[in-house]
Each structure stands twice: as structure tokens, then as C-alpha cells.
Amino acid sequence: MKHFFRLIVSVFVILLSVSCFNGPKAELRSVNVGLDTLVLPFSGTAELIFTVDEPDYRFDPVKDVALYLAKGQFLASQDFKLVRVEKDTEPGRYRATVTDTGLHDDYVSEVCIGVRMPEGHFKLSQVFLCIGEFAGPQGKARKTGLPVLYLDTQNGAQIVSKEQYVKATVALEDGGSVTEPAACNVRGRGNTTWSWPKKPYLLKFDSKISFFGYPAHKRWVLLANFMDRTMMRNIISMKVSSMTSLEWTPRCRSVELVLNGVHQGNYLLIEQVRVDKNRVNLKDGYLIESDFHYDNEIQWTDRHGKCVQFGSGIPFGIKHPDTDEITPDQVQYAKDYISKVASVIYGPDFRDPEKGYAAYIDVDSFVDYWIVFEVMGNHELGNPGSVFYHFEREGKIKAGPCWDFDWGILSYNTSPQARTGLINRGACWYARLFEDPAFVARVRDRFQELQPQLRTIPAFIDETEKMLELSAVENFKKWNPAQDASMNGGRIINGDENMTYHDAVARIRSIYEERLTVIENSLK
């Protein structure tokens, strides 16, 4: 009798258990998920909450819940899986844990939660997205670890002109936080670079804005560095320039650009060369550009001296004062002053410390400017492109700032003579200056003085390589630097466009170290 009683109790417990987990006490009509998108960190987990409309509906959270594809098929994705379902504190509320399997990081899947019905089929929730953390343009941009600049034009307008601005907003995501969108105008910029698929841009903000703690200003530039497989030629050049006595070097930072929701790859956000107390600091002076493109509104050729492009004559243009503010007298003063200095440089008394060039140019700045161009193998000091000078009225002309070091830099492609000698000894004005033994001595002494700092650049290249390596993967999925050959007579420009990113970086590191040795030997 006692055994029979125990049997009856056991059967009751079993029936009660079956009733609790498999037998519906109430009808289940709907399953609801409290989100539209579940973002899964790579090799990590994320939770979602789902509810059933009938709290008394009994089911086994382990066996009776599954992830389904939106079309109602049982989930077959290898990118993520449901690993745990637990009751939450409120009746009818459950907490599901989904894990990323670590296979991919940019998937997007339409899925739903399914709860088993007594008949065996599953009641499905509404569809939601399950995505890898780097899916989509924003995700791909964040994937590189670099700051992300979001540029959105009004009504998605295209940027098709270097003259006409388009209204836009800019926001910067850095370290997990995103700035409030700032109003600006954007247009294209550059000469040859504007004709290439990856476009450079000029940003002009409604009010001064700071990026990365740099001094606030209304004007900033996004350099595309399209032909640069290393993505760091400008970065290295600005680093070298900052080691010298040049009064100002543009500050810059690599970013990922997302334009109207489309990831455009790696860009260099850099201060534009402008007259400002925190940039080229002038009170009543002039910012002059020597550039063979002749794309300044006020420009002329000075016939003292010569350059590679023009033979007799050197091109000059006025960048400041602005063309809508400068007077005819100011224009004439700039032309006359440049002509006066050039005539002294090429005159019979050019070596005289009181009547010669030293009375008209800031020699230290000219020495350091030359060293930056020479170390970087930039031949545009002699074939002038983006070569800058500045001076106050009645003051000495100073060289600088450095700008636009992506064409033919640290490459023997455009300057094969760099393998064995100097490439800018015959550059504009410098050809004459190097005829003075005192100037040569100052160059030699200054180069030796800068050597300890210059020798740190290879380590800086290594650091930059590591910082940009993920960005390089995404950037070169979209852009092919070897297309620059179409603008150079069918020849690639820097010589590393068809290399891998890491091979290209190793090449410029090697050339940089060789340049230091060649320059030192050539100045003896």
C-alpha cells in the first residue's frame, strides 16, 4: 500500500511537471521584441528582451525558444547564435542572450524570436535586425579605430565644384562620443587631385570650430591622399616640419570620412594655410605662394632667377590679404618687394651681410624649409608647387609653412637623383643661396643639429603604420592608388601604388633613412 501511494505521488509530480513546461494553460497570440536592431560586438554577446502576451502561457525557455530568419526559416547563420533564455522579473517577460561567433564582423540579418506552440510550430515575433558591430558605412568607419568625421550635405547634394559651396553639417566621433553637428559650407579643392576619383574637400564653418583640441578656426581641409599607398606622407612631412624653427606647421589627424552615409575611407583632417594668430601670424603682412599651377587670383612671374617649369622667371601669387580686401597699392607693394629681394639675391653684393640677401630674408627659416623639402625628397621647391613665404611690411621674408607633401615624396620615381645626391640645391632662389659658402655652412650645421630628432622619424613611421593598418584595409577596398598613372603619362607617381600597404611603408622608411645619409655626405 505504501509503495502504491508513492507511485501515485510520483505520477502526479510528473504530470504536474509536464503541465508546467509543455502544456498550455492559456492561448499564446503574440511574441514581441522590444528593439529594432541588436548590435553584436565581435566575439561578444548582447541581450534582448521579449514578451509574450499571455503571462500564464507555459513553455520551456531552453527548448521552446529559437531564432528564426525573417522568412520563417530556422536560423542557419554561422555569424551568431542564441545561447541562453531566462525569465525576467516581470510575468511574461524574458531575457535572451545572443553571441557573435567571431567569423565575420559586418553581417546584417533580418531575424525574429520564435516560441514553440503546443502543435509543434513556432509563434514568431516581429522582424528585427541582428548586425555585426561594424556593419554598414558607419560601422566600417569605426572598425579602423580612427576618429570618424560625418559630413552630410543639405538634401544629400553632391560636391561637384571647387568654386561653388554646398551647405552641410559636420560631426566628429572620437573615443565613443559624437559632437553636435556644426553648420558649414563645403566645396572641392586641389589641382590634379580634384580630378581623381577620391576627392579632397575644403570645409568653411559658420563659426570657429576646434578639432582634437587644435586652435579653433573656420577653415579646415580634408586631404584625400589618393595616390599615397602609405597614407602617411603628409603626416611624416608635417612631423619633420614641426621639429624645425618654422613658425607654424599645420596640425593634422587621420580620420575616416563618412559622406552622406557612405564611407569614403581614410582622409587627413588638416589646418588650412591661413593668416591667423594661431596659424600664419601676421599683423600687416603678406602670405605668398609660389605655384606653377597659377591658380591664385592675383599672380605674376618675377623674372629674377628661374625654376624648372618656367626657365627664366618664378611664379608668385598673393594668398593674403584676401582678394576682396586687398588694394591695388598693396598688390603693387608685394610685387615690388618680391622683385627687390630677388634682385638682391641675384645681385653682385648678394653675400654682403648688410646689403645682401641676409638683410632681406630670414635665413634660419630658409635653411629649415630647405631641410624639410630635402629630407622628404620633395622636388617641388625647384618646380614650385605649394611653396609658401610670408612677411610683414618692411620685414624680412620668411619661408613656410610646409604644405601638400604627397606627390613624389620619399620616392625615387620622381627624383631618381635622390639616391645619390641633393635634389633642391638648384631650387628657386636656393641655387643662388648655395653659391654662398656661409649659407652652405649654416645648412650643414643646422642639419647636424636636427639629426637627433630626424633620427626618431623611423620609429614614428612604425607607430603610424600600426595606427593606420586597419584603415588601409578598408580604404584600399574602395580606392586604387595606381589610377594616378592616368594623370602622369601612364606612369605611377610615387612608385608604391601597386604594393601592399606594409611593403609601401617599409619602402618609405628605407628611403627616409637613406636620405639622411645621402644629405649628410652631400653637405660635407
Question: Span 84-96, mean pLDDT?
Answer: 93
Q: What is the distance between the alpha carbons of residues 56 and 228, in angstroms, rounded to a whole number? A: 65
Mean pLDDT for 33-60 is 92
Q: Residue 122 forms beta bridges with which residues?
A: 116
Q: Is the pLDDT of residue 25 over 70?
A: no
Q: Is the pLDDT of residue 6 over 60?
A: no
Enumerate residues 6+ apart whose C-beta is below 8 A from 224.
190, 193, 196, 198, 199, 200, 267
Residue 191 has pLDDT above 90, yes or no: no
Query: What is the average pLDDT across 402-423?
Result: 94
Q: Which grid cell sits at 359?
A: 638683410
- Position with higher pLDDT, 107 vs 504: 504
Q: pLDDT band at residue 140, thresholds of 50, 70 and 90?
A: confident
Going by their DSSP bridges, the two strands 128-132 and 37-40 should be labelled as: parallel
In this model, does residue 130 exceed pLDDT 80? yes
- Mean residue pLDDT of the chain comes to 91
Judged against a pLDDT cut of 80, whether residue 408 lies above it is answered with: yes
Average pLDDT over residues 514-522: 98
Q: Is the pLDDT confidence value at 72 over 80?
A: no
Q: How confident is the model at residue 215 (pLDDT cuts 50, 70, 90)?
A: very high
pLDDT at position 74 is 66
The domains located in the chain, with CATH, are 21-133 (2.60.40.10), 281-522 (no CATH)
Q: What percent of the chain has a predicted confidence (pLDDT) above 70? A: 93
Total-model pTM:
0.85
| Separation between Cα atoms, residue 327 and residue 271, nearest integer Å | 27
Confidence of residue 500 (pLDDT cuts 50, 70, 90): very high
What's the pLDDT score for residue 18?
A: 41
| pLDDT-derived band at 56, boundaries 50, 70, 90 | confident
pLDDT in tens, 258-311: 999 999 999 999 999 999 999 999 999 999 999 888 778 899 999 887 766 566
Amino acid 361: pLDDT:
98
What pLDDT score was predicted for residue 310? 61
Cα separation, 448 vs 442, whole angstroms = 10
pLDDT class for 404, splitting at 50, 70, 90? very high
pLDDT one-digit tens code per residue, 227-249:
999 999 999 999 999 999 999 99
CA nearest to 173, candidates 140, 152, 151, 147: 147
Quick check: 256 and 263 in contact, CB under 8 A? yes
Q: Could you read off the pLDDT of 298-350 as tens digits, one per residue?
A: 999 998 877 665 667 899 999 999 999 999 999 999 999 999 999 999 999 99
Based on C-alpha coordinates, what's the Rg of the chain? 33
The pLDDT value recorded for residue 405 is 96
Model confidence at 19, in pLDDT bands (50, 70, 90)? very low
Cα–Cα dist 138/127, whole Å: 22
Grid cell at residue 127: 522582424
Q: For residue 452, which amino acid is it? A: P
Give the pLDDT of residue 424. 95
Per-residue model confidence (pLDDT) at position 487: 74
